[in-house]
Structure 1
Amino acid sequence: MTDDHDYEALAPTHKIWVHMAAGGLAGLAEHCVMFPLDSVKTRMQSLCPCPEVKCPTPVHGVTSMMRREGWMRPFRGVNAVAAGAIPAHALYFTVYEKAKGFLTGHTFGHNNTLAYGAAGVLATVVHDLVMNPAEVVKQRMQMAYSPYGGSLECIRCIYKREGIVAFYRSYTTQLLMNIPFQAVHFMTYEFVQQIRNPEHKYDPATHLIAGGLGGGVASAVTTPLDCIKTVLNTQQTPEIQDKRMLLKATSTYKGIFDAIVSIYKVRGVRGFFSGIQARVLFQMPGTALSWSVYELFKFILSDQQK
């Protein structure tokens, strides 16, 4: 081992369990730490009216939720997303690292930018297959008039009323959103890495900055697709005002076209950018933390292999 701990140069020797362990921890950190902002974003994007839509900033939205519904309300559904994020991100980072190594021949540089994007796309397909059901449960738990007492009850009710298809109704939209999101995310991350850290050593500051910029840029450009995904996942209409109506509701939006028409009819073009501030504020620190945790544990675990 060199004194520089040039762990990126040793990437081909990393075992799969290293990427999976580091990736699982990174996913847990990314989704759980900034979860309250994600709850606000979900409410702002849903077509069901709620007080958070009128809040001037996402922070005001979190405060509004806590004041009206209790201190822990912004974290409702976090157990569902945590259960999905650990295996989903374990596979996500593993597929990305292996695909990146295969496509680039384990070399680094700006000439590999498209390869980084392609590796990100492959990782996204696997990640979303695992994560989509957790996203459905999480977003239904986050809603203002959510009738569910817990995540397991939510799963049972969704399955009973709408069937297994409900957990994957937004999968196509999720892929349409996450493929460009992750392509931009990974390309931006690796681009900044190459500028600030061309030797690809372990550098906490670079991982933090590159991760934050990658997540921020990608989240901003894919917000319209995220709005569509939220409408499909929550299945809430503008007429829903209480829990009784939600308990009777089944599938309202059958697919992407239904969601697009409904968003435009209710909110116009601006509706496709609802929650963009909360989404960027959630994603930037979330992806910065995710990459920092991932690179840290990859660095620690790679040392233990030697």
Structure 2
Amino acid sequence: MLVFVSTCACFGIALLILNKEILYTDALKFKMPPQKDPNKFFMSISEGEKKPFDFFRVLYDGCIAGGVAGVVVETALYPIDTIKTRLQVARDGGKIILKGLYSGLSGNLAGVLSASAIFIGVYEPTKQQLLKSLPENLSAVAHLAAGAIGGAASSLVRVPTEVVKQRMQTGQFRSAPAAVRLIVANEGFKGLYAGYGSFLLRDLPFDAIQFCIYEQLRIGYKLAAKRDLKDPENAMLGAFAGAITGAVTTPLDVVKTRLMVQGSQNHYKGICDCVSIIVKEEGTHALFKGIGPRVLWIGVGGSIFFGVLEKTKQILAQRHSKTEAQK
């Protein structure tokens, strides 16, 4: 626990130093050198590039890039997520089964594709509109708000997807269609949204914090390097943002998992009751079950997701530029 507190403290100090540096460069009226490649619209966050805002293009590109990044990450890291889920569900030192680590992947990819597309499709235009409306020194607020709004929009798809996935990971069902059919039959349609409150409690702060950390680090890095970031650098910053956010939000993830997989047993009556029972029966440390796989999964996942996301945006921007040049 002390390690994570120290890590978060160091991160907070780093952010303060970064913020001070950005304000100092603003005071000196520092300006980024002209972009050699005008196609890098999406690679700029809020450094002051003024380009026409095309809402539908940003929405379209965000959906494509988000969907691609989400599917790549889910496919690559699904086994780690399965282990994490089984660790969180296990009680009293129960044995963790390492078979069927890809259980539920095929059915889950459809939901992940839709949810990731919705999230980035909402996040990108929201972020850019907020960056236009707010002062430059409040860019972090724009990133936090856009992340939360994107998370709320995608939760309508993400929650049913997560419920089905985690129940398949714990061996309750063998296929996604069967899982959906039986959940609705036994628990009603609301069964697909089991743990919705805990999901929002976990994912809205997670999405807001992770994207804010990533975006702010990119701004500071670009100002320091005085150039656009390379693919490995985007991946590195994504990994750091994901690992820190994943560690801090692990207790919320444990509560969300327990509520989602309990089914009709109703062992827990809600978020507060779930926390109370876990602490009483298993101790406070149980709230950090699966933190190792979670930090690894989200850290590596952040690296892959943001790396693929930025690369896909860049490719789409270049294609748009070529199309416009041919007109």
Fold match (TM-score > 0.5): yes
The Cα shift of 1:292 comes to: 0.9
Paired residue for 1:194? 219
Structure 2 distance, partners of 1:162, 1:123, is 28
Paired residue for 1:102? 129
Query: Relative to structure 2, which stretch is displaced further, 163-172 or 2-11?
Result: 2-11
Matched, 1:157 2:172: no
Paired residue for 1:279? 294
Paired residue for 1:50? 94
Structure 1 residues 12 and 214: alpha-carbon distance in aligned structure 2, compared to 1, 3 A threshold:
farther
Correspondences of 1:283-298 after superposition (within 5 Å): 283-298=298-313
List gaps (5 residues or longer) in structure 2. 1-34, 322-327
Q: What code does the residue aligned with 1:205 have?
A: P
Structure 2 distance, partners of 1:186, 1:11, is 24
The Cα shift of 1:254 comes to: 3.4
Report the TM-score when normalising by structure 2: 0.78
Structure 1 residues 206 and 254: alpha-carbon distance in aligned structure 2, compared to 1, 3 A threshold:
same
Paired residue for 2:4? none
Match of 1:6 among 37, 40, 50: 40
Paired residue for 2:103? 76
The Cα shift of 1:203 comes to: 2.4
Correspondences of 1:73-222 after superposition (within 5 Å): 73-105=100-132, 111-143=138-170, 146-198=171-223, 201=228, 203-222=230-249
Paired residue for 2:83? 40
Provide, for residues 21-42 of structure 1, a one-character-per-residue CA deviation record: whole Å limited to 9, x for no partner.
1110011112221111111110
Contact kept, 8 Å, 1:193 with 1:200, in 2: the verdict is no
Q: Secondary structure at the match of 2:53?
A: helix
Structure 2 distance, partners of 1:89, 1:180, is 17
Provide, for residues 187-228 of structure 1, a one-character-per-residue CA deviation record: whole Å limited to 9, x for no partner.
110121012223673521221011111111111111001000
Structure 1 distance, partners of 2:107, 2:187, is 19
Contact kept, 8 Å, 2:68 with 2:309, in 1: the verdict is yes
Structure 1 distance, partners of 2:105, 2:289, is 22
The Cα shift of 1:110 comes to: 5.6
Runs (4 or more) in structure 1 with deviation over 4 Å come to 106-110
Q: What code does the residue aligned with 2:251 have?
A: P
Structure 1 residues 45 and 82: alpha-carbon distance in aligned structure 2, compared to 1, 3 A threshold:
same
Structure showing greater Rg = 2
Matched, 1:30 2:45: no
The Cα shift of 1:107 comes to: 8.8
Instruction: State percent identity of aligned pairs.
Output: 31
Structure 2 distance, partners of 1:119, 1:215, is 17
Structure 1 residues 147 and 111: alpha-carbon distance in aligned structure 2, compared to 1, 3 A threshold:
closer
Paired residue for 1:228? 255
Structure 1 residues 275 and 11: alpha-carbon distance in aligned structure 2, compared to 1, 3 A threshold:
farther
Q: What code does the residue aligned with 1:115 have?
A: A
The Cα shift of 1:177 comes to: 0.7
Q: What code does the residue aligned with 2:123 have?
A: Y
Q: What code does the residue aligned with 2:196 have?
A: Y
Contact kept, 8 Å, 1:18 with 1:301, in 2: the verdict is yes
Q: Secondary structure at the match of 1:75?
A: coil
Q: Secondary structure at the match of 1:128?
A: helix
Structure 2 distance, partners of 1:11, 1:268, is 55
Kindly tell me the number of residue pairs found equivalent between the two proteins.
275
Contact kept, 8 Å, 2:107 with 2:175, in 1: the verdict is no
Structure 1 distance, partners of 2:287, 2:65, is 34
